[in-house]
Amino acid sequence: MASLLLLFLFLFASSALSQDSLIGVNIGTEVTNMPSPTQVVALLKSQNINRVRLYDADRSMLLAFAHTGIQVIISVPNEQLLGISQSNATAANWVTRNVAAYYPATNITTIAVGSEVLTSLSNAASVLVSALKYIQAALVTANLDRQIKVSTPHSSTIILDSFPPSQAFFNKTWDPVIVPLLKFLQSTGSPLLLNVYPYFDYVQSNGVIPLDYALFQPLQANKEAVDANTLLHYTNVFDAIVDAAYFAMSYLNFTNIPIVVTESGWPSKGGPSEHDATVENANTYNSNLIQHVINKTGTPKHPGTAVTTYIYELYNEDSRPGPVSEKNWGLFNTNGTPVYTLRLAGAGAILANDTTNQTFCIAKEKVDKKMLQAALDWACGPGKVDCSALMQGESCYEPDDVVAHSTYAFNSYYQKMGKALGSCDFKGVATVTTTDPSRGTCVFPGSAKSNQTLGNNTMALAPSANSTTSGCIPKYYHHPHASFADLTLLSLLLIVALVFL
């Protein structure tokens, strides 16, 4: 029994870690008053972000990432592409200075050679694959080719006729580059890096693409886009673009190259003509995208296969040229305050971008009261939450209703579990909020008003929406009106039962 419990806990922890590792962020360079590298790392760690993409190979940043475990994509800037593509020695020198000098202390996982070269620097397209091969050869020489992958990020606009996805194909103008590029990726086990921006697809569609479809918002079944060739249903633009890339590769007979989305996001502010660049839309898109990825939803073509995705971007780049929206893709201001607080119900602490770490777990409104009661019983029973504050006459007894009592118990469990992924679910009747639910003398665990410190306790795991059993005990096991003597007796009976079982 003990070994099974330990195995279960190990699998739970492994699952949580793997989910967290699917989301990363881009760190741009066009930022006035850029925080120091140590401040950047501190922010990333506070948000449980363990993947980042840099647009260069800045020495101070790479040193700051040392011994953090954070997985880092470094980049060969476009202006260095030509030199590297023409000389094996230049590529070897670049790898020596920017990779070997920091690895393995700094967990460099990928080298992005150039950025959107085919669409933004077309005159360099002919040398792109040569640059990739030279960097790969330098890694082989340094005996780092198994640990570090080499690829190049593309704009999704290299894919033509992306809907229906099954009919998508790469712009044939680029076939002399795309085909050898895909051969290189396949031979080295590297991913296709793709920048996916439903915002631009929506804005440029002139009303053809519904806003809800771009934002991952729930759609009625008759509003979903259906690929007539495959009968696959698409509920969002992001999945359609990713699947279009998979189909475009298969059209060229490449079927085993994974896709990593190196950029995706939504601007939170725009100019007078950029009506859809709003805080609400940015929050909705990024919150839904992150939830979509960490839930390992996958795409209709590859359900259950999560697509590692890097949010564009960590900070607003206020020095970027162009329209107002170009300066406002960030999740955070440079002083570390969030531009907006993401809505990530049940996602634990990952990118719960309240930098004070003030997140709480509360009971959802308008849910079945019997389900709430069952979850409350579980939290105060097997969940091992201290529910004494809910006893009659105690500080959190009033109001005496199942929603208020469940909120206290759910949050106590959530805080006790260190806000771990899945610890605020309770079979779908709980959600994460950044609003402190404390009231009067009833101070909730995790509140800035409380001096109480709650450590992790992984000996009991809250029932999740994916549980096959209720995970709850009968309603009479815990009730706000029960006495301490009743609870003690029931606890003893439960211990005796477990011993004899």
Q: What residues are annotated to the active site?
A: 116, 263
How far apart are alpha carbons 157 and 196 in whole angstroms? 9
Q: Are 422 and 348 in contact (CB under 8 A)?
A: yes
CA 186, 187, 189, 193 dihedral sign is negative
Is 204 exposed, middle or buried (CB count within 10 Å of its CB: 0-12, 13-18, 19+)? exposed
DSSP string, 23-66: EEEEE-S--TTPPPHHHHHHHHHHTT--EEEESS--HHHHHHTT
Under DSSP, the state recorded for 97 is I
CA 162 distance to own-chain centroid: 25
Query: Reduced to 3 states, what is the DSSP secondary structure of residue 154?
Result: strand
Q: Are 13 and 458 in contact (CB under 8 A)?
A: yes
Q: Are 375 and 460 in contact (CB under 8 A)?
A: no
Residue in this structure with the two tokens 């997140």, named with its chain if needed? 359
Task: Please choose, from the candidates 479, 461, 499, the residue with its C-alpha nearest in 3D space to the C-alpha of residue 405.
Answer: 479
How far apart are alpha carbons 139 and 475 in whole angstroms? 61
